[in-house]
Amino acid sequence: MAANDDLFGNAAKAKKAPAEARKPTPPPPGEDGYTAASIEVLEGLEPVRRRPGMYIGGTDETALHHLFAEVLDNSMDEAVAGHATRIEVHFEADGFLSVTDNGRGIPVDPHPKFPKKSALEVIMCTLHAGGKFDSGAYQTSGGLHGVGVSVVNALSERLEVEVARAQTLYRQIFERGHPVGKLETVGRVANRRGTKVRFRPDPQIFKEICKFSPARLFKMARAKAYLFGGVEIRWKCAPELLDPAGKTPPEAVFHFPGGLKDYLAADIEGKAQVAETFFVGRIDKAERHGSLEWAVTWLANDDGFVHSYCNTIPTPDGGTHESGLRLALLRALKDHAERIGQGKRAGAITSEDLMAGCAALISVFIREPEFQGQNKSRLMTVEASRIVENAVRDAFDHWLAASPAQAKNLLDWAIERAEERLRRRAEKDVARKSATRKLRLPGKLADCTNTAADGSELFIVEGDSAGGSAKQARDRASQAVLPLRGKILNVASATRDKMAANQQIGDLVQALGVGTGSHYRAEDLRYDKIIIMTDADVDGAHIASLLITFFYRQMPKLIEQGHLFLAVPPLYKISQGAKTFYARDELHRDEIIKKEFARGKVEISRFKGLGEMMPQQLRDTTMAVGKRTLLKVSIVEEDREETADSVERLMGTKPEARFAFLQERAAFAAEADLVDL
């Protein structure tokens, strides 16, 4: 597909401006239609180093990996434009990361406005708006989505660019955005072309984490290959950089001509589906506006997801392409129901019912997309909704008509979900109607007097004795306590019925006031903070992991919206006379002794459990706002898959996976803890 393939009708559709308004004709373009003049030169790179957060959202690990995304997106743009077929990603032992494509090669001719500088140097050293469209060199660009490779240059302690173009190899080196030499002609290269960017992030900018995570790089590269089947991406990583227990290989080749179909199959591996086959499709010239691809299925027992992309860039906050998809699926299904005489029963189905269990991927390619949000994570291009809806609805009509059995399974499943939702709402209404009847709360809950969720906290504690201490130690106005008796159900390996029958889970769900799974309603949450407060021992850790598994599987939004915390009770009390300190672990204990008790004898006692702590101690060390330590439970966006794998491996139904995990880490178990497995 050559670059000048007209994938998008916009240019043809745009009305010609009246002659006098037209800009002076640009200088004659080079042999490949590129003119350097198309890059608007805006400003130097100093602002980028001063406030990196403005350009890459921060300097944490996620921001660090945006550097890789930016460079990779530029190679992907070359591939999507039909000029590159291969990309290599190589993470080297010395911490350098290189991306190489076999595209046209960044232009090196002198820049008309800066005759002494090459176009390459201007691109590398100036923050420029995406001139990618003016020059006609590209039809779509993910790279526009980001901030340009110059930002990567500014934030790298060293960056080397090699360009192979017109049988000549050029190279230029930069340090922190400044050229350390002029563009040099290295020599002739017979059958090589393209661009290579090799860089190492600057530890002066990325102070905490300056090392790429091979697992993240691997997944980001793989995702790109799924999103554009016309490119082969080769992955290579120095073996010494790999986590021995991880699953990231030192080498891999990603090439998925099957596109999103393969991606979806990998995403839902093993989960039961409502219909046997996926609903997949792609349109390469939808109404001459753009191209799109989708892969959809419905999961019988798991909550679904929609992952969407624009120009191979993830749009985690959805947008117009996703709304077009949802609308198309719902309308086509209802039309189908009408056709087979089930219109009435299907009337109750809402988009939430249908999408709750829907696992869908959608990828659109749009010229000059509009995004919303600080990190441009939501697509706003209005016509994307119409393009997607028309294309998907038409295709889904055919899919439903072509396989009546599958269509019936899907329709029955959707109707069941709608009816279940209506039943739950009826129950809620009954509860609400009997206004006098108190909200059904578990007897064991010692609620706080505040009725508003804002500022209220729920401590989930293990056992009645800890519960007793916590009830005495708490601030009754804002702190509620729910004692759970013994180990709670492991929801990762329990059936839905077993879960529904479990008293502890029932109490927890009632106390929180929200439903589980797709019935979770954030606005009904009765507390702002949910704090798991278990003993600082193995059993306490186990209870905490069971509770986290429950929230992760049944109320993931509660974690994603930052409501879940772990209390950190002290393990040691250190005193000398009237002077008392508390330590959360051995390390903290030794630090305190060194710092606070340099001289004389100290008395050290270890807490066996919360139940044996005096309420005052519990309040002053673990519960009181401002005196306590809380750990927030969160899911790192890029580790979503990793997290799902870990929960499945550690808590899931396959003991052999747990066994393998223990074996791999046996070396870390203290001697005393080794058991004869």
Interface contacts to ligand 28F, rule CB under 6 A: 32, 34, 38-39, 71, 74-75, 78, 99, 101, 103-104, 106-107, 131-132, 135, 137, 149, 195-197
Rank residues 38 and 629 by Cβ distance to ligand 28F and give the closer one: 38
Tokens of 587: 């390390």
Q: Computed over its alpha carbons, how large is the radius of gyration of the chain?
A: 29
Q: How far is the CB of 33 from ligand 28F (least distance, A)?
A: 7
The string of DSSP codes covering 633-657 is ----GGGHHHHHHHHHHHHSS-HHH
Containing 583, the helix (H) or strand (E) segment is: strand 579-583
* DSSP label of 541: H
Per annotation, catalytic residue among 70, 322, 457, 535: 535
| 535 catalytic residue (yes or no) | yes
Q: How far is the CB of 220 from ligand 28F (least distance, A)?
A: 14
Q: How far is the CB of 108 from ligand 28F (least distance, A)?
A: 10
In this structure, the number of other CB atoms found within 10 A of the CB of residue 527 comes to 26
* DSSP label of 20: G
Rank residues 136 and 615 by Cβ distance to ligand 28F and give the closer one: 136
Tokens of 307: 């992952």
| 303 catalytic residue (yes or no) | no
Q: How far apart are CA 216 and CA 320, in angstroms?
A: 28
| 302 catalytic residue (yes or no) | no
Per annotation, catalytic residue among 160, 335, 539, 638: 539
CA–CA distances in Å: residue 337 to residues 219, 332, 344, 349, 414 = 40, 9, 8, 11, 11
Q: Is 586 helix (H, G, I), strand (E, B) or coil?
A: helix
Q: How far is the CB of 356 from ligand 28F (least distance, A)?
A: 40
Q: How far is the CB of 26 from ligand 28F (least distance, A)?
A: 13
Q: How far apart are CA 631 and CA 547, in angstroms?
A: 14
Rank residues 23 and 601 by Cβ distance to ligand 28F and give the closer one: 23
Q: Is the CB of residue 216 less than 8 Å from the CB of residue 65?
A: yes
Torsion of CA 120, 121, 122, 123, to 10 degrees: 50
Per annotation, catalytic residue among 184, 416, 420, 537: 537
Rank residues 128 and 393 by Cβ distance to ligand 28F and give the closer one: 128
Rank residues 34 and 597 by Cβ distance to ligand 28F and give the closer one: 34
Rank residues 162 and 462 by Cβ distance to ligand 28F and give the closer one: 162
Q: How far is the CB of 518 from ligand 28F (least distance, A)?
A: 41
CA–CA distances in Å: residue 71 to residues 113, 142, 501 = 25, 10, 52
Q: How far apart are CA 398 and CA 328, in angstroms?
A: 12
Q: How far is the CB of 248 from ligand 28F (least distance, A)?
A: 21
105 HSE (CA, 13 A, CB side): 19
Per annotation, catalytic residue among 88, 293, 457, 462: 462
Residue 392: what are its φ and ψ, rounded to 5°? -70, -40
Angular region, 105: left φ>0, alpha ψ -120 to 50, beta rest = left
Rank residues 89 and 354 by Cβ distance to ligand 28F and give the closer one: 89
Q: How far is the CB of 122 from ligand 28F (least distance, A)?
A: 9
Residue 291: what are its φ and ψ, rounded to 5°? -120, 155
Q: Is 383 helix (H, G, I), strand (E, B) or coil?
A: helix
Q: Going by C-beta distance under 8 Å and a sequence separation of 6 or more, which residues neighbour residue 295? A: 259, 260, 261, 263, 264, 278, 279, 280, 360, 361
Rank residues 137 and 564 by Cβ distance to ligand 28F and give the closer one: 137
- Residues identified as active-site: 462, 535, 537, 539
